[in-house]
Chains A and B, each alone.
Chain A
Amino acid sequence: MEIAHDVVVAFSKSWGLFYLVGFSLCVVAYAYWPGNRKAFTRAKMSVLDTDDRPLGDRPLGPEA
């Protein structure tokens, strides 16, 4: 039990840091990736759309 505890502590104190830094870099890269810009802008504007119907892929009913 003692050893297991020490191992876990050592592991989290060393690798824990690197994993967190690496993870943060990935997140920031994703958020600022130029290719994502269009999708993000679209998402942010799409909320304001007032059209309150699903976009259908099936035969539309009489009202549509």
Chain B
Amino acid sequence: MVRLVSGMTVTERQIALVVLLALSLIGLAMAAGGRGDPMGAQGFVVLVFSVGLAFAVMAGYYAPEPDESRLTRYYDDPTKVGIVLTVIWAVVGMAVGVWVASLLAWPELTFVDQAWASFGRLRPVHTSGVIFGFGGNALIATSFHVLQRTSRARLPDQFTPWFVLIGYNLFCIVAASGYLMGITQSKEYAEPEWYADIWLVIVWVVYFLLYLRTLARRKEPHIYVANWYYMAFILVVAVLHIVNNLAVPVSWGHAKSYSLFSGVQDAMTEWWYGHNAVAFFLTSGFLGMMYYYLPKRAGRPIFSYRLSIISFWGITFFYMWAGSHHLHYTALPQWVQTLGMSFSIMLLVPSWASAGNALATLNGAWHKVRDDAVLRFMMVAAVFYGLSTFEGSFMAIRPVNSLSHYTDWTVGHVHAGALGWVAMITFGSLYALVPWMWKRETMYSPKLIEVHFWLALAGTIVYVFAMWNSGIIQGLMWRTYNDGGTLAYSFLDSVEAMHPYYIARAFGGLLFLSGAVVCASNVWLTIRAAQRERRGETGTDVPIVAGAMQAGE
């Protein structure tokens, strides 16, 4: 902690303290004004979080200032902390995933008779935990790294990146703890209530400005394509988040708010948001990751730079119109559904262009893919990216959707994308990045990377096949008629038929989770080895403050 604080100038430490003080006052106001409402408990979360951090900053307040030579290095402390947070959220989010998967397989597992332990409250903890906690932290951490390297410029100051990273995690914690208390806007992937949403807007605007400020200092005339993808992620998520969350709170002291939209407009806004969250949170940013770490790790330039530009604009512009495929056969006007369907099919072109570009980059280096599990993570990610986008375009066709909608097929598609693409590219990139950040030759244990790879791949395949099977069975059972012209199966029949698949899914998820745990231990061991070495170099067991010299690393 002290070492991290010592990377900031004294002025920055003061700014940090002022911001934390303001935050704790807000927390206090929420706790006081929200007495008798869940808002009050959320206030305490904010209060404890900011007071705790203020103590950490104060502990390092008198550490020596970083000297000017820091400007000759990149500022990687926030990336390092971001990596650690990514790994923690991965384990937590996926553990809750396995928990909800087990609840679906064995509902009697709700062992504590408490509202917070019910499926409905745990499910959003899983989705937000993995998407925002794991995915978001990975995106922030890697974006800081890629941005600096491709611009050849250091981040403009030492306070802003911390504000973005820590502020974002405060949002995640407020969101997750709120779900457990039953706070929700009832909009999928946008569950957090108005106060958390406002906070995220502030954090996000600062994030975007940080990106622009660093780009303005760049020494490379051309902005490398990975940055375009990261910037699209930041900018579009801001727009989506603000519009979809327009709402009026009941009062300042109430967690509950009412959306500005209603009826079919509300549904369209939500799924315009939801689908573009897939596009710009779960795709665009991770493509940025892929376009940097894949060529870097493979030691080969991207196959076609032009193609990466064309697919960038294709993805940004087509995705915008595809959201209505979530609302087939609803009150939404038919032409809007058709529009979403057409754009979803067109989307296949830029999506496969990206997946193909990645695989073509590896073409000629297959021996490296065979020997290097890190590169294999990235290759499998590209393959699953191709698979899940093909599947998505297919499911967007209205008659196909009439079979897949409401079934586990959707959940299978989600996790083909989430496990196969998002998590695989993230783990691959982390394994490449961690040794660079902690100045090691390799990860602590290349063997464990290999173990993780096979656990992850097996887990994904078991999960996805289980859901494809159960989804299609479900869909077919719901549309099978008997001679009398009535439904052949009751809904409960279809629920019973799902049981074996739910067990298989929970097992696949457990494999995937074990992989994540293996990754966490490997990262931890790598960091510890790096720390040992550093202490060893300085000879004695020096007090932590002396570490200030390395602060700018």
Q: Which residues of A contact B (CB under 8 A)?
A: 9, 12-13, 20, 23-24, 27-28, 30-32, 39-48, 52-64
Minimum CB–CB distance from B128 to chain A (whole Å) comes to 33
Q: A52-B74, A53-B74, A63-B72 are in contact. Are A32 and B224 (CB under 8 A)?
A: no
User: Does B302 contact A54, Cβ atoms closer than 8 Å?
Assistant: no
Residues of the A chain whose Cβ atoms lie less than 8 Å from the Cβ of B70: 61
Residue of B nearest to A45 (CB): B301
Minimum CB–CB distance from A42 to chain B (whole Å) comes to 7
Interface centre among A12, A31, A56 (most CB of B within 10 A): A31
Which applies to chain B's interface (DSSP): helix, strand, loop or mixed? helix
Known: A9-B335, A54-B148. 11 other contacts (CB 8 A): A20-B317, A27-B313, A31-B306, A42-B222, A43-B224, A44-B295, A47-B150, A47-B224, A53-B72, A54-B73, A58-B71
Residues of the B chain whose Cβ atoms lie less than 8 Å from the Cβ of A58: 71
Task: Give chain B interface residues in 294-322, CB to chain A under 8 Å.
Answer: 295-296, 299-302, 305-307, 309-310, 313-314, 317
Chain B positions 273 through 307: 1 when the CB is less than 8 Å from some CB of chain A, otherwise 0? 00000000000000000001001100111100111
User: Does A61 contact B72, Cβ atoms closer than 8 Å?
Assistant: yes
Residue of A nearest to B313 (CB): A27
Which applies to chain A's interface (DSSP): helix, strand, loop or mixed? helix
Is B535's CB within 8 Å of the partner chain A?
no
User: Does B72 contact A47, Cβ atoms closer than 8 Å?
Assistant: no
Is B380's CB within 8 Å of the partner chain A?
no
23 contacts between A and B (CB under 8 A): A9-B335, A23-B317, A24-B313, A27-B309, A31-B307, A31-B310, A39-B221, A43-B220, A43-B224, A44-B305, A46-B220, A48-B296, A48-B301, A52-B149, A53-B73, A54-B73, A55-B152, A55-B153, A55-B219, A57-B219, A61-B68, A61-B69, A61-B72
Q: How many interface residues does B have (CB within 8 Å)?
A: 38
Which of B67, B69, B150, B306 is A46 in contact with, Cβ under 8 Å? B150
How distant is the Cα of A42 from the Cα of B71 in the complex, in angstroms?
Answer: 25
Q: A39-B222, A62-B69 are in contact. Are A54 and B152 (CB under 8 A)?
A: yes
Is B225's CB within 8 Å of the partner chain A?
yes
User: Does B301 contact A56, Cβ atoms closer than 8 Å?
Assistant: no
Is B126's CB within 8 Å of the partner chain A?
no
Is B254's CB within 8 Å of the partner chain A?
no
Residues of the A chain whose Cβ atoms lie less than 8 Å from the Cβ of B300: 48
Residue of A nearest to B153 (CB): A54
Q: A40-B305, A46-B220, A61-B71 are in contact. Are A54 and B154 (CB under 8 A)?
A: yes
User: Does B309 contact A31, Cβ atoms closer than 8 Å?
Assistant: yes
Minimum CB–CB distance from A24 to chain B (whole Å) comes to 8
Which of A27, A40, A45, A54 is B72 in contact with, Cβ under 8 Å? A54
How distant is the Cα of A52 from the Cα of B150 in the complex, in angstroms?
Answer: 10
Interface centre among B305, B310, B313 (most CB of A within 10 A): B305
How distant is the Cα of A6 from the Cα of B79 in the complex, in angstroms?
Answer: 50
User: Does A47 contact B301, Cβ atoms closer than 8 Å?
Assistant: yes
The 4 lowest CB-CB distance pairs between A and B, nearest first, are A61-B69, A55-B219, A31-B306, A39-B222
How distant is the Cα of A30 from the Cα of B300 in the complex, in angstroms?
Answer: 24
